[in-house]
Amino acid sequence: MPDAPVPAPDIAAELAGLIARRDQAGLRKALAPWLAQDLAPHLAGFSPEQLATLFRCAQREVAAQTFGYLPGATQRRLLKLLSQEQAAQLLEALPPDDRTAFLQGLPLEVAMQLLSLLSPQERDVAKTLLAYPEHSVGRMMTLDFVAIRADGTVADALAHIRHEGFDRETLNVIYIVDEDGRLADDVRVRRLLLAEPATPLRELLDGNAPALTAGDDRETALREFRHYDRAVLPVVDEARRIIGIVTADDMLDVASEEATEDIQKLGGSESLDEPYSTIPLFRMVKKRATWLVVLFLGEMLTASAMAFFEDEIAKAVVLALFVPLVISSGGNAGSQAATLVIRALALGEFGLKDWWRVMRRELVAGLSLGVILGVVGFARIAVWAQFTDLYGPHWLLVASAVGSSLVGIVLWGSLAGSMLPLVLKRAGLDPATSSAPFVATLVDVTGLVIYFSVAWLFLRGVLL
Amino acid sequence: MPDAPVPAPDIAAELAGLIARRDQAGLRKALAPWLAQDLAPHLAGFSPEQLATLFRCAQREVAAQTFGYLPGATQRRLLKLLSQEQAAQLLEALPPDDRTAFLQGLPLEVAMQLLSLLSPQERDVAKTLLAYPEHSVGRMMTLDFVAIRADGTVADALAHIRHEGFDRETLNVIYIVDEDGRLADDVRVRRLLLAEPATPLRELLDGNAPALTAGDDRETALREFRHYDRAVLPVVDEARRIIGIVTADDMLDVASEEATEDIQKLGGSESLDEPYSTIPLFRMVKKRATWLVVLFLGEMLTASAMAFFEDEIAKAVVLALFVPLVISSGGNAGSQAATLVIRALALGEFGLKDWWRVMRRELVAGLSLGVILGVVGFARIAVWAQFTDLYGPHWLLVASAVGSSLVGIVLWGSLAGSMLPLVLKRAGLDPATSSAPFVATLVDVTGLVIYFSVAWLFLRGVLL
């Protein structure tokens, strides 16, 4: 992060010196004022051996947090150099959700070996979290929450919190469960603190407890978080038993990753799944080439369509001049419509059943946009024709053909662009796949057919 | 939100009946189990008069929260129907950041009139927040935080929190300030609870306190939140005095809005600034038409470029057949590159100074992609030529011309697409403006020039 505050830019050199001298006290002192996320980027140039020394000397909590911010490859090399006991300590000190993220990046046998280093209790936690599908809410949750029955008083609840809740990730909310462990309600701790201690806990409840389901996709979780404006939401299993919590700051990373994925797909490439600035060049080319070739194969149909109208082009070369202009307008209108619909779908603004409402809007919008571009296109040719002979004696017919076909092509582009994401979603595919280039390719071929057909109507017997 | 849980779908009918009978007790009972954000959508069909009755009967906190989730127009009509005292109560009960959001949507004179209804203390708060620029951190903050000096013991700090902190938005973190009110550190409340009460507070401090600046853009705040993984960050003024806090759940809305803005721009339209499903059709057409017309005017240059090569087309109509294929490939490569770079810039992966690193990557990537498409294009024509006379006796030269120009055009598209966002950012414009359609238009014109120039090299003396 180039924007991060940097307390001491020469920290890397300072640490390297201390590591070389194995100055444990000096290292602890130098590390003390650093936040793990600010420190990690400075460690990029260190060898795994240097890091191993650093991590052996650092306090366990600092080491674990910093470990969480190192690149995956460095993490794996580092673990190999540490003793089993040191590796286990590091893993145990990682927050459970970070540990899940780390373990799921490993080959299965390595992950299993590391799991065996953990204490039985922590191993159970890790296995539970890893059992949920990738990108599910279950993978993201922490198990640090306080849940109590509603039978006692506020004083009982506070005593329980003091006993149980000290090292929990968040103390803001406690959860009320029934005798089967099912989530019944949530209560803000500050309401407990404000209430008379002898008040029965039940009197503070409102019977309302929004929750996520562990098997839910993280995109669903994101929508729920935005809907409820909460700093933390509980996670329940299918029987509505509370099994964990997810915090809003973790959702920020999800929001960013999901947006990146959608944006990259919209730009007409596979999602890179790693930062643009660090992805190996070959892997990036592979991800981009796939879609580029698919689009190229689709676009080849334009050559066939053009060949079909070769005679018309030979008779009236003037028609060929406007081919790029006309078909790109359809593509632009289509990519606008597709992008707007894809984003609205991602935000949950409407569902598949609303397709007719979307289509009606795009009919009107597409027709209006088509008329606007048609008029501009007509005017352009008409004005030019006053000053040049480029368009020949029949410029008025040419202008009419271009203008009219623009209306049809822009309308068609808007309809195709808005419906394609819905069709993809209906087929169980990601709507974001209907990228701007994808829609443009689709509309280019049909656009050519519309253009030459309209031109034939206007120009037959004259130029054609 | 279609996915929201709906406890009782007939709540609207039930409330309408209770409102008609002015059954205050019944209304309170019916509203009790509802969360404001789930209730608000069911009130969409109510008249302002019905809502006014509902809000008069509901408990103040419920009313204020629900008010916060109503559409802006409904909020304004409703306030007019309430007595000044009722309106003031409603506004006072709104959280300060929601109140800011509501007031900034009003015409100035209405906002001033409403401000005058507030208590002097709340009026000062509202005025302070409104003084910050739109989309700044200052507009989003709440003033509910606990800040103390570091002089006393842990027990002193806890006593202060019990006294001050009860109705604060978040109790998780308290802030340590120096004698001038400048932020010096932050401490998790759970560390206080775990520490020996007689411990001097200073011993718990690490001298580290990431903070946002009130004048910062909210996009900067979003990056800081992702960097520090915090549930809450303090906001400081230029003298580093703490003046408020921002919570991660508020940032989720920002993340979503910023992504929507970028995605809509990438799709080649102005950002709509309101949901696709509810924006009035005329306003949407206006926002989309602006960019479509701009792109259309740019794309007109293709007609001029084509006219420049009119003689070549007349002599070798076969060249015209591949125009859409060749130029769209450049556009697709360009929109890939532009999208990847725009997203990486938004995530802060690199800055303007890294332009050469980006360019070097795109040189290699663009060349590789160009060679891949060039080979596919050459093969397509070569294979077709075995089965049809479409491409004439000189098909090998035509295939070579198409294949070679694809290498140049895809390379040029990748370079132009990756550099344009950087150029826009350098000029102080939003990089997301260099949308897929924008880059495609730019690359179309130059693509034509490259294509016909390469074709001339291969075909002069033969077809040309």
SS3 A253: helix
* Contact (CB<8Å) B307/A390: yes
pLDDT tens readout for residues B214-224:
989 888 899 88
How many CB atoms are located within 10 Å of the residue B292 CB?
A: 25
Q: With a cut of 70, say whether residue B23 has pLDDT above it.
A: yes
**Mean pLDDT confidence for B392-421:** 93
Same domain, yes or no: B15 and B113: yes
Specify the pLDDT at position A5: 42
Q: With a cut of 90, say whether residue B405 has pLDDT above it.
A: yes
Cβ of B280 under 8 Å from any chain A Cβ?
no
> pLDDT band for position B84 (50/70/90)?
confident
Same domain, yes or no: A174 and A27: no
* Contact (CB<8Å) A263/B267: no
In a domain, A266, yes or no: no
Alpha-carbon span A231 to A213, nearest angstrom: 17
SS3 B271: coil
Cβ of B197 under 8 Å from any chain A Cβ?
no
Same domain, yes or no: A198 and A110: no
Same domain, yes or no: B323 and B388: yes
Cβ of B193 under 8 Å from any chain A Cβ?
yes
Closest residue by Cα to residue A161 from A142, A146, A143: A146
Same domain, yes or no: A235 and A353: no
Same domain, yes or no: A313 and A435: yes
SS3 B183: strand
* Contact (CB<8Å) B171/A166: no
Token representation of residue A34? 């650093």
Cβ of B356 under 8 Å from any chain A Cβ?
no
> pLDDT band for position B456 (50/70/90)?
very high
List of residues 6+ apart from A390 with CB closer than 8 A = A318, A321, A384, B307, B310
| Chain B residues within 8 A of A170 when measuring between CB atoms | 172, 231
pLDDT tens readout for residues B107-146:
777 777 777 777 777 777 777 777 788 888 988 888 778 8
Same domain, yes or no: B82 and B185: no
> pLDDT band for position B166 (50/70/90)?
low
Alpha-carbon span A448 to A444, nearest angstrom: 6
Helix-helix angle A72-81:A48-57, to 10 degrees: 70
In a domain, B140, yes or no: no
**Chain A with chain B: Cβ pairs closer than 8 A:** 398
pLDDT tens for the 464 residues of chain A, in order:
334 444 455 888 888 888 888 888 888 888 877 888 888 888 878 888 888 888 877 777 777 778 878 877 788 788 777 777 777 777 777 777 777 777 777 777 777 777 777 777 777 777 777 778 888 898 888 877 888 888 888 888 888 877 775 555 556 788 999 888 899 999 887 777 777 888 898 888 888 889 999 989 888 898 888 888 888 899 998 889 998 889 888 888 888 888 898 888 888 888 888 888 888 889 999 999 998 898 898 888 998 899 899 888 888 888 999 999 999 999 999 999 999 999 998 888 888 898 999 999 999 999 999 999 999 999 999 998 898 887 888 889 999 999 999 999 999 999 999 999 999 999 988 888 877 888 888 899 999 999 999 999 998 887 77
| Chain B residues within 8 A of A247 when measuring between CB atoms | 231, 248
φ/ψ of residue A242, rounded to 5: -75, 130
Cβ of A302 under 8 Å from any chain B Cβ?
yes
Cβ of A373 under 8 Å from any chain B Cβ?
yes
Specify the pLDDT at position A12: 85
CATH number of the domain bearing residue A343: 1.10.357.20
> pLDDT band for position B382 (50/70/90)?
very high
Q: Which of B130, B163, B181 is the last residue of a domain?
A: B130
**Nearest CB partner across the interface for A369, out of B2, B264, B285:** B285
In a domain, B4, yes or no: no
**Nearest CB partner across the interface for A252, out of B193, B248, B336:** B248
Same domain, yes or no: B206 and B351: no
Q: Which of B102, B130, B158 is the last residue of a domain?
A: B130
Structural domain of B211: 147-254
**Nearest CB partner across the interface for B277, out of A225, A291, A350:** A350
**Mean pLDDT confidence for B200-212:** 87
| Chain A residues within 8 A of B6 when measuring between CB atoms | none
Cβ of B379 under 8 Å from any chain A Cβ?
no
φ/ψ of residue B208, rounded to 5: -120, 125
Cβ within 8 Å of A, B 37-66? 37
Specify the pLDDT at position A107: 73
| Chain B residues within 8 A of A145 when measuring between CB atoms | none
Specify the pLDDT at position A462: 79
CATH number of the domain bearing residue B64: 1.25.60.10
Residue written as token pair 């519309």: A450
Specify the pLDDT at position A6: 45
| Chain B residues within 8 A of A341 when measuring between CB atoms | 276
Same domain, yes or no: B317 and B434: yes
Specify the pLDDT at position A166: 54
**Nearest CB partner across the interface for B444, out of A229, A281, A328:** A328
pLDDT tens readout for residues B340-358:
999 998 888 888 898 999 9
In a domain, A276, yes or no: no
In angstroms, how far is CA A7 from the centroid of its own chain? 31
Q: With a cut of 50, say whether residue B4 has pLDDT above it.
A: no
In a domain, A263, yes or no: no
- Total domains, chain A: 3
Same domain, yes or no: B360 and B414: yes
In angstroms, how far is CA A297 from the centroid of its own chain? 28
pLDDT tens readout for residues A191-207:
777 778 888 988 888 88
Q: Which of A131, A165, A185 is the last residue of a domain?
A: A131
Cβ of B324 under 8 Å from any chain A Cβ?
yes
Same domain, yes or no: B334 and B422: yes
Token representation of residue A344? 């609205």
Specify the pLDDT at position B5: 42
Q: With a cut of 60, say whether residue B2 has pLDDT above it.
A: no
In a domain, B296, yes or no: yes
- From A139's Cα to the closest Cα of chain B, the distance in A is 17
| Chain B residues within 8 A of A332 when measuring between CB atoms | 268, 291-292, 295-296, 437, 440-441
ipTM above 0.85, yes or no: no
| Cα B129-B135-B140 angle, rounded to 5 deg | 45
CB B398 within 8 A of CB B406: no
In a domain, B315, yes or no: yes
Cβ of A111 under 8 Å from any chain B Cβ?
no
In a domain, A68, yes or no: yes
CATH number of the domain bearing residue B154: 3.10.580.10
- From B361's Cα to the closest Cα of chain A, the distance in A is 7
Cβ within 8 Å of A, B 225-254? 225-232, 247-253
Same domain, yes or no: A328 and A233: no
Longest dimension (CA), chain A: 97
Specify the pLDDT at position A362: 94
| Chain A residues within 8 A of B189 when measuring between CB atoms | 171
Cβ of B208 under 8 Å from any chain A Cβ?
yes
- From B109's Cα to the closest Cα of chain A, the distance in A is 30
Q: Where are the alpha helices (DSSP H) in B267-354?
A: 281-308, 310-315, 317-321, 323-346
- From B235's Cα to the closest Cα of chain A, the distance in A is 15
pLDDT tens readout for residues B303-322:
889 989 988 888 888 899 99
**Mean pLDDT confidence for B442-460:** 92
List of residues 6+ apart from A192 with CB closer than 8 A = A154, A157, A158, A161, A174, A204
| Chain B residues within 8 A of A33 when measuring between CB atoms | 206-208
* Contact (CB<8Å) B281/A361: yes
List of residues 6+ apart from A441 with CB closer than 8 A = A295, A298, A299, A331, B328, B332
pTM score: 0.79
